[in-house]
Structure formats: C-alpha cells, structure tokens
Structure 1
Amino acid sequence: MTIQRHDTKPRMSRAVIHNNTIYLCGQVAGPEHRFETMTVQAESMLSRVDALLEEVGSDREHLLSATVYLKTMDDFSTFNAVWDSWVPQGHAPARACVQAPMASPELLCEITVVAAVK
C-alpha cells in the first residue's frame, strides 16, 4: 500500500491518498476573501475544496466526512445555508461542526474533508 502525498511542505501535505481515500489539509477562504462575510468566506473555502479534490481525482459527490470549524457558532446557520447549496443532494458526508479559534483573526471558518477516489 503506497501513500501519495501532494504538494508537501515541511509541516503538511495539501492532500494525502492511501487505500483510495483522500485526506485534505484544512481549507480556508482564499486570501482575496479573508476579510469578507461568512457567506463569502464559506463559498471561497468550499471552492478551494472543489479544486483540490479535482486535482487529486475526486469531487464532492465522493465526500466521506467533513469537520467544519467556525470562529463563532453565531455563524452556524449562515454557514449551513452555503453548505446546503454546495453538497449534492443525496451525497451528504458524515459531518461535525465545532467552534474553534482560527489561525488568523480575519478567518471565520475552516474545513477538513476525507473523500473517496472517483
């Protein structure tokens, strides 16, 4: 069983594939959206998930699990509105959503996902 690491840096890889399972590193909004609203940041973050999944041979229909980190649970319903329009009907992954401090004060959300290879 080989382990494939993509875009590996000293502290992490952007994605790791093992046994046809893809593990993505935490994704946040793109730099151009980091001072925007929760809606804009969530859309940007999920767009980055889409791009990374495509890069490593998967898509959102193959999501297995997601862990969502929100700076404040006050944004829970706003985040869910974006999430609900992003997840394909019938393909919702197992999901957890927690409040957590962010690595940078302007960030409002982060996500880690696990997906199957297409």
Structure 2
Amino acid sequence: MITRMETGTRMSKIVIHGQTVYLCGQVGAGATVADQTRDCLSRVDALLEQAGSSREHILQAIIWLADMADFAEMNAVWDAWVPEGHAPARACGEARLARDELRVEIIVTAALKA
C-alpha cells in the first residue's frame, strides 16, 4: 500500500510505502546557508512527525548545495541537528537549485517509528 500526503498536481510532500517514508526535497528561508539549513531541517522535522517518523529514524539524506564553498557552514548546522548515534547514510553535492536565492535542499528517506 502507498500513502501520499499533502499531494498536489506535481508532487506529494510525503509518500509512505510499507515502513518507509519518502519526503520531497525541502528548502528553507534565510539570508545565509546556516539560516536556510536550520529552516529546512525544521520542515523535515515537521513532515517526519506528520508521517509518524522522526530524525532518529532517518535512513538516508541527500543534500544539494548551490555552492560547495558552503559545505562547512551547512555541516555545522547538520551536525548539531542529527541525534548522536543516528547519523544516516548521506550524500552531498553541488547543484543549481530551483530559485537563485536557494542555497541548500535536503531530501530525506526514513523508517516509520516501530
């Protein structure tokens, strides 16, 4: 069974299949990469909660940065957010994002809480 939440014409914000939660890419507001990363991760937290999961259950994260020069600044926020002992598999790369003001986008796959 597949459950789709907050579904529009183009995409769903959350898709649940079996015990796995897939979130659409999340971006955040703010002037700096740190601000955008914090806001983005706050959105991830809210969607995971809505889906019945949490950051402790993240399996994989894919992070896109508009400029890899922002890697350390993003990582400082990320490292403080990830619960100790629960670091997911992760990839990070540089990509042109949907709008010029965006500096970071995070895509998360997680397990449902048991």
**TM-score interval, smaller chain:** over 0.9
- SS of the residue 1:23 aligns to: strand
Match of 1:91 in 2: 86
- The total of aligned residue pairs comes to 113
Residue 38 of structure 1 deviates from its aligned partner by 0.7
Please give the residue correspondences for 1:12-51 in structure 2 after superposition, counting only pairs within 5 Å: 12-29=11-28, 33-34=29-30, 36-51=31-46
Q: Give 5+ residue unaligned stretches, structure 1.
A: none
Give the counterpart letter for 1:22 in structure 2.
V
Distance 1:100 1:38 in 2: 14
Match of 2:59 in 1: 64
Residue 103 of structure 1 deviates from its aligned partner by 0.1
Match status 1:7 vs 2:2: no
Which portions of structure 1, spanning 4 or more consecutive aligned residues, are displaced by more than 2 angstroms? none
Residue 24 of structure 1 deviates from its aligned partner by 0.2
1:5-54: CA deviation from partner (whole Å, max 9, x where unpaired): 0011111100100011000000000xxx24x1111000000000000000
TM superposition score normalised by structure 1: 0.94
Q: Give 5+ residue unaligned stretches, structure 2.
A: none
- SS of the residue 2:43 aligns to: helix
Match status 1:80 vs 2:51: no
Q: Percent of pairs identical after alignment?
A: 57
Distance 1:110 1:85 in 2: 17
Select the residue among 105, 109, 112 that pairs with 2:100.
105
1:47-84: CA deviation from partner (whole Å, max 9, x where unpaired): 00000000110000000000000000000000000000
